[in-house]
Amino acid sequence: MQTEITLSPSSLNLMIECPRCFWEQMKEGIKRPSSPFPSLPNGMDKILKVYFDRYRFKGELPPELKIEADLEDFKLLKDQKTLDEWRNCFKGIKYKDKDSGITLKGAVDELLVDKNGKVAVLDFKTRGYPPKPDSVDYYKLQLNLYVYLLKENGLDTLDFGFLLFYYPDELRQRTKFKFKYDLAEVKVSPKEGERAFRKAINILEGDKPNLSSDCEFCRWRNT
């Protein structure tokens, strides 16, 4: 039995998919069977962070953001040291609920700051194809949790964030790939992030949820 529980956006996505699988993973360490995770998105994520850091050092926005008229008054967060810690998946940005002792942790990609000092989350998404109509909705919980964490750590956040999708377009000379991008503005709410966190706490403090007929893993374990 785990004495300390740390939740992440991915574990709260699991809660939405199946409270039973979520409870068993967090309370009993029973995880769903996993498939190999592709290394390309993780490698691209590191490259993008280095790329953005170069523009941070110059005090500029990358071209992907600079051409957006609504971002003329924004800058990248200057505090590289803090951002490096919040980016780190082992450290991240955290908030511990005092009553339950359960911690919520997230690893942000980038933060934008407007002229009034308010912060907006920017998250990179690398994929092999252009974003689909429902792609933004899939990541909305993640952004809501990030702004909730930022609020609890004393930052003044805006009510919107951004998803920056990168995907390959064509292969040029030998190993030189051309990437396209799409920037999506997303309405976010720290209250929705807190609501999801509280729901997770309530589930974990209760009895083990029933098997879900809608969950293929519950059906598989029950055969």
pLDDT in tens, 114-166: 999 999 999 999 887 888 888 899 999 999 999 999 999 999 999 999 999 99
52-59 average pLDDT score: 96
Percent composition of the chain: helix, strand, coil (DSSP 3-state, to 5): 40, 20, 35
Q: Rounded CA gap, 175 and 92, in Å?
A: 34
Domain map of the chain by residue range? 6-31+38-221
Residue 1: pLDDT band (50, 70, 90) is very low
Q: pTM for this one?
A: 0.91
**Over the Cα atoms of the chain, what is R_g?**
19
Q: Rounded CA gap, 52 and 116, in Å?
A: 22
pLDDT in tens, 79-102: 999 999 999 999 999 999 999 999
Position with higher pLDDT, 192 vs 67: 192
Position with higher pLDDT, 103 vs 218: 103
Sheet of strand 75-76: strand arrangement = 75-76, 110-113, 119-126, 160-171, 177-187
Sheet of strand 103-106: strand arrangement = 6-7, 103-106, 93-96
pLDDT of residue 214 exceeding 80, the answer is yes
**Is 6-31+38-221 a domain of CATH 3.90.320?**
yes
